[in-house]
Structure 1
Amino acid sequence: MSRSSTFNQPSPKPSSGWVGVGLRHAHYGDAMSGTSAIDFVEVHAENFFAQGGASLSLLQDVSERYPLSLHSTSLGLGSASGINAAYLEKLALLTERVNPVLISDHACFTWSQLHGHSVHAGDLLPLEYSARSLQLLIDNVDRVQQHFGRQILVENVSAYIAFNDTTMSEAEFLVALAQRSGCGLLVDLNNVLVNAHNFPEGDPLTVAKQWVDAIPSELIGELHLAGYTPSVSPELIIDDHSQAVSEECWALYEYTIQRTGPIATLIEWDNDLPAWPILVAEALKARCIIDNVFYAQEGASHVA
């Protein structure tokens, strides 16, 4: 029996065919005015930890208009020093206030101890894929889920170094995490591609498809799509979320949806933000792919 049996699932639940966008400060006004074709929005939880003020009030207004996903960057689920208690309490309080449809963070470490004080790394630092690292991650995810009384999603991260002590693939590592902790997986397809470029083992798109094939569909709770700035050096790509979704990522997304069926999908665009209609149009591309794949499969089944 998985540990997930000891906590209750939340009442709000995203539809498998939803498409949404990451909501950043520059787009708050656009998101709240007029009618938007998106199904949900995601915000970075840390931006709304203040106990009052305009930002929290705005978030509550947003949550009344859109189903809301809370995406954290600082739980440090893979940190050997454990989960920072103060951070966890702030996230739990925010969760109670806005009742998000999804809560997610990353398979990384961010916290350590220095002279008896918790220190945050300021980045999403990758993990070695080993039994020791996996158990740490499982224990920390279990603590968070027990604290919230609900499932969280854990996202794969982009990386720029490889560890000598790695004993399993990233996909094997994440599948074991989900199966043993009861969490879901947030699969960032752009991150899969970035890593396939940075650690070349063949054609990046082919390698990325093989990565997706290794993840059981039922473990995936959400997909992220994003773009990156092409590097002047072909040896390394930096995942900066500053561009439209790449054609390579769209191809991987269509492949994934064909394999898994519709999954809630979010467009991330964090730097060099476009106008709101351009961002929404990216989400609508995802919806078109879902519709085309779904109806194509439905049509084929009727013909058969």
Structure 2
Amino acid sequence: MRILDKPELEKRLPWNALIDAIAEALREGKVQSPQRQVLPIAMPDGHTANLLLMPAWVSGEAIGVKAVTYFPQNPEKGLSSINAAYLLFDGATGQLKAVAEGDALTERRTAAASALGARYLVRPDARRLLIVGTGQLSIPVAEAHAAVRDYAEIAVWGRKAEKAQAVADALKAAGLPATTADNLEAAVRAADTISCVTNTTEPLIMGAWLSPGSHLDLIGAFRGDMRESDDEAVRKADIFVDTREGATLAGDLAQPLDAGVIGLHDIRADLAELATGAHPGRTDDEAVTLFKSAGFALEDLAAARLAAG
């Protein structure tokens, strides 16, 4: 049995190889991945935490399951809001093959799936990337996007300037052209790609700010009461998702769907349709594209199999 901690996962899951592994799993179409279970846990202090269970398997080849806890109040205690573990079993014998540190696996597969969407939806000449949010996904998401497009500038915006500076410094140390953004509206208007990794329940990105040809990547809000973009952003964009089942439960799409701002027919394609070529992705350099991801178990299984070797 292999133990895969964060340094080992980072070594075994280079961005382009991981992005390709997720794309290949989508093209093969063999992974069975039921919709994840999100179980609310009422805490004694009145807050609500979540336990997420995400199984997936390829018959006769591999079985995997991830257990994730989400405690939104943890950052106030200096702790990570997301904690997880992944178990990978041999699909032919049922024997345990690997145990992976779930936080790092989630970070890398989430960033890789976002970057895979960007392969099809971000203009090839995109030069300015904006990262909105300074949590644990901000650095891997910036790195993954930089692996699929040659950005001349990567700006980081956060509610706290010192955290944005820390993220920018880490990206610069990794050799990326990072800086901070003080004014969110100005940064969005100037960006070719905007990637949001926050846990906000109130929209941060206004559709009126999105420039023609830009791409809005929404990662952070996974519950129905969470939302990173307003109605106008969703209304004006060509909408793409990782999966229809998962993405439409997240507030960025669930709320405008419930309000009749958009309909299910407005979702152009999911990630599998992009990866298989069933949909060409971006077809208009002036269009605003939007990719909403909520995460799904195929990504975890593809990442774990690649890491376990």
Q: TM-score, normalised by structure 2?
A: 0.30
TM-score by length of 1: 0.30
Higher helix share: 1
**Whose strand proportion is higher, 1 or 2?**
2
